[in-house]
Structure 1
Amino acid sequence: MAPKKVLRKVGVVGYGRLGQFLVSRLLAQGSELGLELVFVWNRDPGRMAGSVPPALQLQSLDALEERHPDLVVEVAHPKIIHESGAQILRHADLLVGSPSALAEQTTEQQLLEASSHWGHAVFVARGALWGAEDISRLDAAGGLQSLRVTMATHPDGFRLEGALAAASSTGPRTVLYEGPVRGLCPLAPRNSNTMAAAALAAPSLGFDCVIGVLVADHSLTDMHVVDVELRGPPGTTGQSFAVHTHRENPAQPGAVTGSATFSAFWLSLLGCCQLPSRPGIQLR
C-alpha cells in the first residue's frame, strides 16, 4: 500500500480580491498540489459568508495554532504584519503579501528575531516586481549602485494615508512622491509593495537608498505601470551597466492589485510550500 500523502497546511489572512483568488485556487487545486486550506481569516468576518465554508472561517488570529498551519499567507494589510507577524511565526512559516510593513525597522527586527527563535521562514512575495532575482544577483555581486522604481496608475487606484491622503493631482500626470522607499511605505502602504520588494531584493541599498516614485496618471484607467531603473558603478571605460524595464499590468478600474499580480502571487505561494523552513527573510 502506498504511503498516505502528507498535505502542506495553508492558512490565508485577508479576504479581499487577492485573498479570494488564493482561497478559490486552494479549494479547487490544493489537494492535487499537496496543499490543504485549513483556515481563512478576515477582519470583517461577514465578507466570508456564503463563499468560505464555515469550518474554514477563523474567528480570531489568536486561535490559528489550533489549525496547525505550515504556512500562513498574509494578503490583508501591513497592520497585520505589524501587529501579528511575530506571533504567527511561533506556529508557521509566513508569506508576507504586504512587504511595505518591513519599512518599519522595529517590525523587521521583530520578524527576524521570531524567525530565528522559532525556526520559521519569512517569505516575501515579489508581487509586481519584475526582475527580482536579477536585482538580487547584481546586488550580491556588488554591481548595483542605484535602483529606482516608479509606479503610475489612475488616482482611484491609490489608498493613501497621512500627508499623501490630502494630495491632489494637478494635471493629467502628477508625481505624488519621489524619494526613499522607507518614507513612502507608511503613506501608501497598499501601493508601495512593489517598491518595498525592490528594497528587499537589493539589501546593499535597502529602504533608505532605493528610490520610489508614485505617479497619478488620469489616462491609466485600467492599468498599473511599473518602471524599474537600475545602474551599476562606472567601469574601466567610464560607462555603467544599466537596465530599464517597463511593465504594463492590466487592472480593473480603481483596483489596488493588477491582474498579472494574482498569478505571480499564486506562484510565490507554491514556491514557499516547496522550500524547507529556514529562518530569515527571503524574497519569493
Structure 2
Amino acid sequence: MASDGVPRKVGVVGYGRLGQSLVSHLLTQGPELGLELVFVWNRDPGRMAGSVPPSLQLQNLAALRERHPDLVVEVAHPQIIQKSGAQILRYANLLVGSPSALADQATEQRLQSLRVTMATHPDGFRLEGPLAAVLSTGHRTVLYEGPVRGLCPFAPRNSNTMAAAALAAPSLGFDRVVGVLVADLSLTDRHVVDVELSGPPGPTGRSFAVHTHRENPAEPGAVTGSATVTAFWRSLLGCCQLPSRPGIHLC
C-alpha cells in the first residue's frame, strides 16, 4: 500500500467484532501489504487481553501521537468521533466507521429526495433513549421514520448507513434525508437496507429514480452484518492507497 516503500502505520480504535477482524488482518496480511499495526485502543482494555500483544495495546487514546500513526480507523462508537475526532486529526488521517457521529449540527453540510430503510430482527437493534422503549406491535413494525439527524442519537449503532447517505448528499444533509428503522421478526439471519433516490421532475414531469436493495447476512441478534467486516477491511486498504495528507475517510 505504501508506494514509497515505507510501511503505512495504522491504529485501530475499537475492539468489537470489526476491530478484531481488522486487527487480525493487519497482523497477518499487513506486512506483505506495507501496513504496520501500531496500536489498538478499546474503551474496555480488558477485552484486548490475551489477543492483542501488550506492546500494541494503547491504554490512553490521548497518547496516540506517540505511536506516529498515518491512519486511524474508528470502529468503536459515535461518541469517540464526537469527543476525540479533532484530536486524532491533528496527528493522522481518520477513517470514520461511525458516521452517525457527524449528525451533530456543527459538522453538517447542506440530490433531491433520499430515503434509507433498514430492517432487521428486533434483537439486532441497540437502541437508546425513547426508541429503546418502543415495542414491536406485530410482525413488522416501523420504529422510526423521519430525518436521519433525529435517529442517529438514539440508534447510533444501527444508523451508520443512513448517516453515510446523508453525508453523500450534502444538498440534503441529515435534516432532509429520511431514515426508516424497521423491526421485522422474519429477518433472523440478515439485515436489509433499501435506498430510494429520486431526482427533480424533468420536462415530462417524471423523475429519475434509483432503488437499491441490499441483504447482508448476519448472525442472530448481531449488530454487524457478515459482509460489513470484509467491507471495512477493503475500505482500510483503499484509504491506505490515498495520498498521505490530512483528511477524514468515511466508511
TM-score, normalisation: structure 2: 0.95
Determine the structure 2 residue equivalent to 1:84: 84
Q: CA deviation at 1:276?
A: 1.6
What is the CA RMSD across the aligned residues, in angstroms? Answer: 1.6
Query: 1:232 & 1:277 partners in 2: Cα distance?
Result: 35
Q: CA deviation at 1:236?
A: 1.0
In the other structure, the counterpart of 2:142 is: 175
Distance 1:259 1:170 in 2: 28
- Quick one: distance in 1 between partners of 2:145 and 2:27? 41
Q: Give the deviation of 1:262 after TM superposition.
A: 1.1
Aligned to 1:117: none
Secondary structure of the residue aligned to 2:85 is helix
Query: Is 2:20 aligned against 1:20?
Result: yes
| Equivalent of 1:150 in 103, 108, 117 | 117
One-letter amino acid of the counterpart of residue 32, structure 1: E
After TM superposition, give the deviation of residue 145 of structure 1 in Å. 1.8
1:204-243 aligned within 5 A: 204-243=171-210
Matched letter for residue 135 of structure 2: S
Deviations 1:185-243 (A, max 9, x none): 00101100000000011111111110000000011011000000010111111111111
Distance 2:56 2:99 in 1: 26
- Unpaired runs of 5+ residues, structure 1, are 113-143
The structure-2 alpha-carbon separation of the partners of 1:186 and 1:240, relative to structure 1 and needing over 3 Å to count, comes to same
Task: State the Cα deviation string for residues 7-61 of structure 1 (Å, max 9, x = none).
Answer: 0000000000000000000001001111000000011111111111111001110
Identity %: 84
Q: What is the aligned partner in structure 2 of residue 134 from structure 1? A: none
C-alpha contact (below 8 Å) 1:201/1:283 kept by paired residues:
no
1:278 and 1:198 map into 2 onto residues whose CA distance is: 24
Asked whether the equivalents of residues 228 and 246 of structure 1 are also in contact (C-alpha less than 8 Å), the reply is yes
CA contact (8 A) 1:10 1:37 kept: yes
Unaligned runs of 5+ in 2: none
TM score, norm. by length of structure 1? 0.84
Match of 2:221 among 246, 254, 260: 254
In structure 2, the residue matched to 1:100 is 100
